[in-house]
């Protein structure tokens, strides 16, 4: 198999010494579904814009389908489809008009462009609204139209920058199904960025976690979770006091104990096997948890482990610092 996307040491430093991307390298195989997972400001959009010829890298190299981003941008634009984080539509035009213009720009005859528009409108469920100005569409409809516009020329590689952020579960599922079938049935290579762990977990063959402009871990979901090497045991107590006592008691198990309020989270190897001992210890001190849950680590745990905070907390921190 050959590399469809190949990126080496990509760096982007904006004016004012903002280091948005600090040396990112990765490869995506033909037909692979690859996800970039990271919080706000991690450098996801900047990376996408560099590899799709919209932004000039400060340094480093990127190739798509064997074409160099810097020297062969025209060739690259013919094989890629890009849905940026902000949708790219002219609100004065109708969905159909936008799709037909897009087709003609890629060299379709009028009749072909019209047929392709029909197909895509059907595909994203906008046939009924095709003749309405898309400025009047809802957020979800706009996203779906944006995806359709990205697919007009049947790209070999699809770049999707947070395609479901801000969408309701219904629209999110629609888009998930759509891109999954593109990948599975048409063999389209997909590069997707997301802030949602479930999204990366659900869709991707392989994930890179990006934080503060650097890739901090890469691999399949299983690899990444296994890298923690521990299961997660969540316990909820009726009071904070009880949780504190339990925390002291359970600290002797090798592994980690994290308390927040009346909740405890233990990271221990072979979690299920340790359960009877944990219950026994608590029982001797007359502490009874309200709920107890053992699970393999989630991607959130991987992120927590790598960066010292959860992706949600990271998000909050960013949002606060932006206010």
Binding site for other proteins (CB under 8 A): 52-56, 73-74, 77-78, 80, 82, 84, 86-93, 97, 101-102, 104-107, 133, 149
Contact with Mg ion (CB under 5 A): which of 26, 34, 45, 171? 45
Q: Is 312 in the site for Mg ion (CB under 5 A)?
A: no
Our finding on whether 85 is near ligand ATP (CB under 6 A) is yes
Q: In angstroms, what is the minimal distance from the CB of 30 to Mg ion?
A: 25
- Measured in residues, the chain has a length of 323
Question: Quick check: 52 binds ligand ATP (CB under 6 A)?
Answer: no
> Of Mg ion, ligand ATP, other proteins, none, which one sits near residue 42, judging by CB under 5 to 8 A according to partner kind?
ligand ATP
Give 45 or 188: the residue with its C-beta nearer to Mg ion.
45
How much helix, strand and coil, in percent to the nearest 5, is found in the chain?
40, 25, 30
Alpha-carbon distances, residue 217 vs 22, 38, 62 (angstroms): 15, 11, 20
Binding mask of the shown chain, residues 69 to 108, with x at each position contacting Mg ion by CB under 5 A = ----------------x-----------------------
**Among candidate residues 194, 247, 191, 171, the one with its CA nearest the CA of residue 64:** 191
Helix count (H) and strand count (E) of the chain?
12, 14
Does 41 help bind ligand ATP (rule: CB under 6 A)? yes
Q: Where are the alpha helices (DSSP H) in 129-252?
A: 139-151, 169-185, 197-203, 221-228, 240-250
CA-to-CA distance for 153 and 227, rounded, in angstroms?
Answer: 40
Residues in contact with ligand ATP by CB under 6 A are: 14, 18, 20, 38, 40-46, 85, 195
């Amino acid at each position: 198999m050959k590399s469809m996307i190949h990126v080496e040491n990509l760096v982007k430093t904006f004016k004012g010494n903002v280091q948005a991307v600090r040396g990112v390298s990765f490869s995506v195989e033909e037909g692979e579904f690859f996800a970039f997972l990271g919080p706000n400001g991690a450098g996801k959009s900047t990376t996408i814009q560099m590899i799709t010829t919209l932004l000039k890298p400060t340094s480093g190299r990127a190739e798509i389908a064997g074409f160099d981003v810097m020297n062969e941008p025209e060739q690259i634009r013919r094989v890629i489809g890009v849905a940026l984080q902000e949708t790219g539509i002219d609100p004065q035009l109708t969905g159909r008009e936008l799709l037909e213009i897009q087709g003609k720009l890629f060299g379709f005859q009028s009749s072909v462009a019209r047929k392709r528009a029909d197909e895509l409108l059907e595909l994203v469920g906008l046939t009924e609204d095709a003749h309405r100005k898309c400025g009047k569409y809802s957020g979800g409809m706009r996203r779906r139209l944006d995806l359709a516009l990205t697919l007009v020329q049947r790209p070999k590689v699809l770049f999707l920058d947070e395609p479901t952020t801000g969408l309701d579960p219904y629209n999110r599922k629609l888009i998930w199904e759509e891109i999954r079938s593109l990948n599975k049935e048409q063999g389209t290579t997909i590069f997707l960025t997301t802030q949602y762990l479930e999204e990366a977990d659900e869709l991707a063959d392989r994930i890179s976690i990006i934080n503060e402009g650097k890739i901090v871990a890469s691999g399949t979901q299983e690899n990444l979770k296994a890298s923690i090497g521990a299961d997660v045991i969540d316990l909820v107590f009726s009071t904070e006091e009880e949780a504190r006592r339990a925390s002291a008691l359970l600290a002797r198990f090798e592994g980690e104990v994290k308390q927040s309020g009346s909740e405890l989270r233990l990271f221990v190897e072979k979690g299920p096997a340790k359960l009877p001992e944990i219950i026994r210890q608590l029982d001797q001190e007359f502490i009874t948890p309200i709920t107890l849950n053992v699970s393999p680590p989630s991607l959130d745990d991987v992120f927590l482990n790598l960066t010292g905070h959860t992706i949600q907390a990271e998000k909050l921190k960013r949002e606060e610092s932006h206010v």
